[in-house]
Amino acid sequence: MERLVLALVTAACVSPVFAADSPEEILAHVRRKYQEVKDAELSFTRRTRLSVAKIEQNATGSLLLKKGHKYRIEMDDRTVVTDGTTVWSYSKANNQVTVDTYRPDERALTPERILAGAPGDFAASLLGREKLDGIEMVVLKLVPRGEERSAVTALKLWIDPEDWLVRKAELAESSGKETTYTVNSYSINSGIPDSRFTFTAQEGTDVIDLR
């Protein structure tokens, strides 16, 4: 989905982490940290690159996330909201909202799954260290296991070993599209109300209900 999706997801000395922890152990740290997260709010920057067309686009947005498949992504041109049962996708340019039933996909890289260290059917390798905003991160690369085809061919995660939060994610797709999300700011467990995970269309909005 459209730092989406996300610093949700304690402290440890950086050198021992890299010396002793395998990629699987690092992901286990991330997933344990994510278990402590009930809700999160963050702002992010998204960069999209299309290698074939040699096009690059940049945008900013915000993400609200709450356990139970609830999230709200707001960007300049689009808002996507789900309460875990219904999903609303609003296009500002068209003044149109599409309403549909939310259908969880166990392989889809939703904001929740990225922040929780990606689905278990991805194999991880350690790429090394890299500084992000002056802070040294551990960088992992994840690729789908087995022969099953996936739109996402690789996922890179930049993880802060001080708190095990994902600060940056890069998704590479078979089409040649590459999308990078970088978390600018975040807050965790602030008590976001469920009312933020519904969408009410304003008068005059074209509503397409696919349920």
pLDDT of residue 109: 67
- Mean pLDDT score of the chain, rounded to an integer? 85
Q: Tell me: the pLDDT tens digits for 29-39? A: 998 888 898 99
| Mean pLDDT per 10-residue segment, the chain (211 residues) | 37 39 90 90 93 84 92 93 96 96 76 71 90 93 76 90 93 91 93 96 95 91
> Rounded distance, CA 158 to CA 115, Å?
11
pLDDT of residue 6: 35
Question: How much is the pTM?
Answer: 0.81
Three-state DSSP state, 134: coil
Q: Tell me: the pLDDT tens digits for 103-145? A: 877 666 677 777 776 666 788 999 999 999 899 999 999 998 8
pLDDT of residue 35: 87
Nearest to 29 by CA among 12, 6, 5: 12
pLDDT of residue 118: 66
> Which domains are assigned to the chain?
14-209 (2.50.20.10)
